[in-house]
Amino acid sequence: MSDRLQPGDEAPAFTLPDADGNEVSLADHKGRKVIVYFYPAALTPGCTKQACDFTDNLELLAGAGYDVIGISPDKPEKLARFREAESLKVTLLADPDKKVLDAYGAFGEKKNYGRTYLGVIRSTIVVDEEGKVERALYNVRATGHVAKIIKDLGV
């Protein structure tokens, strides 16, 4: 488990497969701001709500200079089913070995109904044009989160 990122930190570089198996790197987005969000599992209610909210606001965010990338431990095949089932437009990346989740502090100890376990911590990291962390939000809620980000970023 790595430490959580702080504003001003260098965003950890990554290259992961998307829903079609194509490699996507953070470096591909240099010069643009990137909202990287981490979610536990495709095709679950909360994660679907969050992905649909990002898709619904993608044009607004893109117009303000933001790209959106969603990362989960799911395999590309499941991400493709998720994208098709929900008509998602956001870039979905697969991190089954959880290396990127860990590097971003989005994998760690969670508590649910008094039980402690390791899992994905729903998180959103905003990376600036230079690859530095602008905002690091951990333990976010799926519902209402995208509207809050838009408000906080002044989009």
Active-site annotation, residues: 47
The H or E element containing residue 115 is strand 115-120
Neighbour-count burial for 130-150, b at 16+ CB within 10 Å, e otherwise: ebebbbbbbebebeebbeebb
Distance between CA atoms of residues 20 and 105, nearest Å: 26
Q: What angle do CA 128, 64, 11 make, to 5 degrees?
A: 15
The CA radius of gyration of the chain, in Å to the nearest whole number, is 14
Distance between CA atoms of residues 143 and 50, nearest Å: 6
- The pair phi, psi for residue 60, each rounded to 5°, is -60, -50
C-alpha distance across the termini of the chain, in Å = 33
